[in-house]
Amino acid sequence: MERFEKAERLRRLPPYLFKEIDRKKAEVRARGVDIIDLGVGDPDLPTPGHIVEAMKKAVEDPSNHRYPSYSGMEGFREAVADWYQERFNVTAEPLKEVLSLIGSKEGIAHFPLAFVNPGDTVLVPSPAYPVYNIGTLFAGGRSFFMPLLAENGFLPDLEAIPHDVASSARAIFINYPNNPTAATAEPEFFERVVAFAKKHGIIVCHDAAYSEMTFDGFRPSSFLEVKGAMEVGVEFHSLSKTYNMTGWRIGFAVGNASAIEGLGAVKSNIDSGVFQAVQMAGIEALRGDQGCVAEMCAIYQRRRDVMTEGLISAGFKLEKPKATFYLWVKVPAGYTSAGITARLLEEAGLVVTPGNGFGEPGEGYFRMALTQKEDRLKEAIKRLKALSL
């Protein structure tokens, strides 16, 4: 074998479908085009000041310079439990049912290492955040993809999963409010997932990263609000989107004590927890004034309105989302996801993400992230209208 030949687990990764866009983006930028990047889901807004101040203070304290505890500071886990009680009326035992994470991506990626044996099946939505599939693959598992289709409100059709697949699956990943489709789920869907998981002995992993990024007064439920959910699953959460803290790397998992214990056991052998100063900032975020969250939602809601109306008047078709900072837009007749993405970049300097990059059933859509200021979105609309599609 060649010295640096990659391990199977890297060679088995799905092809990186954004490579072509990355290359084109560099090429268009080199031509001097003013690019408007609506590609990545990274907030352009800063972390609220009171959270930054808490971090500054915590950084000065030498007791925070040492190794943190593996499963997270008690104070952070208590703040998470209190936040769950307040926000969802869900009671979680801070030391047994809460775990701090180095961002929720880290927890999601490591979760299968705790519960999936080589060859085991995991039910994974498609299109989706890529980490559910990749975490499964790294654990040697196999993903069974559940297509998220417009006719089902972008919810997986649990009835369509063959019985032998469901009964042998170890876990199911779900994510609402959803990236990339911006779809939301009602508690009734979570009830069906709990019943399905009970029937087949499956662990439910719900990624709730966007539960606070919502519009028009919509307040999504936690999966854990549903009766029996604590017996079958965990919910992954993040401070990244709620408090514009993507760079800080802090998230958490809440749920079944055995699930939390298993994930904690994997993590204690791989990482050494979250920098305590960051956890102190996290406590401030969760316990502090939540006005900053309302302000953030108001900004994204205005952007959503501007962009949705602009897209519709430029002839595109989409639903106005109730949550997330994404728009999931149908590609115009005669185009593929890759085709429209290339044309928007080359002729309008607009970066969007082709839907099929999130999984084959995403073909026929592109995703726009509302991570630019309103005047830039208006400029994007002007350019869209100037294209004759």
Nearer to ligand PLP (CB atom), residue 238 or residue 341? 238
Does the footprint of ligand PLP cover residue 25 (CB under 6 A)?
A: no
What is the distance, to the nearest Å, from the Cα of residue 273 to the centroid of all Cα atoms in its chain? 21
Q: Which residue has the tokens 């082709």?
A: 354
88 versus 252: smaller Cβ distance to ligand PLP? 252
Q: How many C-beta neighbours within 10 Å does residue 155 have? A: 21
Token readout for 165 is: 């697949």
Answer for which of 47, 126, 221, 238 binds ligand PLP (CB under 6 A) is 238
Q: How near is the Cβ of 31 to ligand PLP at its closest, in Å?
A: 31
Closest Cα partner for 128 from 38, 45, 206? 206
Q: Is 353 in the site for ligand PLP (CB under 6 A)?
A: no
Binding residue for ligand PLP (CB under 6 A) from 37, 207, 212, 284?
207
Among 25, 105, 200, 267, binds ligand PLP (CB under 6 A): 105
Return d(Cα 130, Cα 145) in angstroms, integer. Answer: 12
Burial-class residue 147 by CB neighbours within 10 Å (0-12, 13-18, 19+): middle
Among candidates 386, 335, 373, 344, which has minimal Cα distance to 35? 344
Per CB under 6 A, the segment of 25-33, 98-106, 288-296, 339-347 that binds ligand PLP is 98-106
Residue pair 340/332 in contact by the 8 Å Cβ criterion = yes
DSSP 100: E
Region binding ligand PLP by CB under 6 A among candidate stretches 44-52, 78-86, 239-247, 334-342 = 239-247
Q: Does 330 bind ligand PLP (CB under 6 A)?
A: no
If the CB atoms of residues 125 and 349 are measured against ligand PLP, the closer one turns out to be 125
Applying CB under 6 A, does 240 fall inside the site for ligand PLP?
yes
Question: With CB under 6 A as the contact rule, which of the stretches 227-235, 237-245, 261-269, 297-305 interacts with ligand PLP?
Answer: 237-245
Sheet strand arrangement including 317-318: 317-318, 326-330, 365-369, 353-354
Told to check if 251 binds ligand PLP by CB under 6 A, we report yes
Between strands 142-147 and 121-126, the pairing is parallel
DSSP 26-64: HHHHHTT---EE-------SPPPHHHHHHHHHHHH-GGG
Task: Looking at residues 366 to 385 of the shown chain, list those that interact with ligand PLP (rule: CB under 6 A).
Answer: none
Element (H, E) at 175: strand 169-175
CB of 388 to ligand PLP, least distance (A): 33
Count CB atoms within 10 A of the CB of residue 33: 15
Asked whether 318 and 180 are in contact (CB, 8 A), the reply is: no
Site for ligand PLP in 123-182 (CB under 6 A): 129, 175, 179
d(CA 58, CA 61) in angstroms, rounded, equals: 5
Provide the mask over 31-50, with x wherever binding to ligand PLP is found by CB under 6 A and - wherever it is not. ----------x---------
Interface with ligand PLP (CB under 6 A), residue total 14
Which window, 103-111, 194-202, 291-299, 328-336, contacts ligand PLP (CB under 6 A)?
103-111
Q: With binding defined as CB under 6 A, does residue 242 bind ligand PLP?
A: no
Supply the minimum distance, in Å, between the C-beta of residue 351 and ligand PLP.
17
Task: Name the DSSP letter for residue 320.
Answer: P
Quick check: 241 binds ligand PLP (CB under 6 A)?
yes
Query: Quick check: 147 and 361 in contact, CB under 8 A?
Result: yes
Instruction: Output 169 or 250, the one with its CB closest to ligand PLP.
Output: 250
Binding interface with ligand PLP (CB under 6 A): 41, 103-105, 129, 175, 179, 207, 209, 238, 240-241, 246, 251
